[in-house]
Amino acid sequence: MSATSRLKELRDKIDPINMQILDLLNQRAEIALEIGKVQQESGTRIYDPQREAEMLTALQLANEGPFSNETISNLFREVFRATLHLEEEDARETILVQRKQPDQHTIIEFSNGLRLGNETFEIIAGPCAVESYEQMDAVGAVLAERGVKMIRGMGYKPRTSPYDFQGMGEEGLKIARQVANKYGLVVISEVLDMSLIPMMDEYVDAFWVGARNMQNSFLLRALGKQSKPVLLKRGFGATLKEFIYAAEYVMASGNEQVILMERGIRTFSEWTRNTLDISAVPLLKQETHLPIIVDISHSAGRRDIANPLGRVARVSGADGLMVEVHPNPDVAMSDAKQQLNLEQFNQLMDDVESIATRYKHETV
């Protein structure tokens, strides 16, 4: 037999083996997807390194060559990786925060008529922390005048140093509630620990989870048991995937009213406190059905670029922006450099409103 026909004969043997391997790989993938579903239902993890190690050992013991054990391990590791990817893709489609249809939008309604999500652009504003009744009253009056419906009523502050002002606690919440009632606003406040939930529930209309607590799964689960909306800030080192899975914790525990807030991520930039990741807005809009708000204060850490950031937020497709406002920022007990005074806040509102008319119904 000539070399050419021998080659053809051998190649003809290879082709059906390829098809068999293909068929077996896909059969294996189907079973892996089934396993993934069972794991998801029982709340266990998709990736199990122990199981992977056991399979590799069994394969190496059974391997009679000519492939070396190392080659066999590498080949199967590739199969495992591809399977894990497939399982993750499959699981992703079934998570609650994931947008299932293009027109699926969560809209969160509050007692004063505020609606967050996909219809309007709303402003959340207020001082970094409640410092006194007079301070909150001055801000509340301006917010009401400008049609803002939600005020920050922060009683507890997550500060870098334990020696810095930590917030007025329940006293601060009482003030926030009083001022909100006076001006027809709703109050949102950061909950630093799950033990504070029952007390805070007396005063607030929505719970706020700060960047530092984004992955506190116990807190997220506890908020998932509440009936009030939860605003979740992105951690400064969190990927978008980690962010949406944090929201999933709240939703999977039973609370579907989740609002996402992009607040900037940590980069090498020295001129801003964080870097506003504006691409997070269209990406989160694409991936989830939840409202998305842009924090223009903590993302920059400086008030001089609040207006351009506000304009960017307005046309980004976000559902609103959050800004810190204080009657006298220079003497603020926290975040003095980034809070706007009342006049600057009015200017920001004018700017955001005027860009909205210029870019009516358009998003960038």
Where on the chain is the footprint of Mn ion (CB under 5 A)?
128, 335
**Which residues does residue 322 pair with via DSSP β-bridges, in sequence order?**
124, 295
- Cα radius of gyration (the chain): 27
Give the residue nearest to ligand PEP (CB): 210
Whether a cis peptide bond, with omega within 30° of 0, leads into 66 is: yes
Phi and psi of 206, rounded to 5°? -155, 150
Whose tokens are 């509440």? That residue is: 226
Going residue by residue from 155 to 194, which x/- string records binding to ligand PEP, judged by CB under 6 A? Answer: ---x-------------------------------x----
User: With contact defined as beta carbons under 8 Å apart, do 353 and 122 qualify?
Assistant: no
d(CA 358, CA 315): 10
Q: Rounded to the nearest whole angstrom, what is the least distance from the CB of residue 339 to Mn ion in the complex? A: 8
Give the residue nearest to Mn ion (CB): 128
d(CA 205, CA 302): 28
Pick from 116, 143, 211, 321 the residue near ligand PEP by CB under 6 A.
211
> Is 233 near ligand PEP (CB under 6 A)?
yes
> Is 222 near ligand PEP (CB under 6 A)?
no
Q: Rounded to the nearest whole angstrom, what is the least distance from the CB of residue 327 to Mn ion in the complex? A: 15
| Interface stretch with ligand PEP, choices 104-112, 206-214, 277-285, 304-312 (CB under 6 A) | 206-214
Q: Which of 52, 75, 72, 71 is nearest to 62 (CA)?
A: 72
Q: Rounded to the nearest whole angstrom, what is the least distance from the CB of residue 116 to ligand PEP in the complex? A: 16
Q: Rounded to the nearest whole angstrom, what is the least distance from the CB of residue 100 to ligand PEP in the complex? A: 29
d(CA 341, CA 279): 28
> Is 263 near ligand PEP (CB under 6 A)?
yes
Identify what 263 binds: ligand PEP, Mn ion, none; CB under 5 to 8 Å per kind: ligand PEP
What region does 72 belong to: left with phi over 0, alpha with psi -120 to 50, or beta? alpha
> Is 210 near ligand PEP (CB under 6 A)?
yes
Positions touching ligand PEP (CB under 6 A) are: 128, 154, 158, 190, 210-212, 233, 263, 298
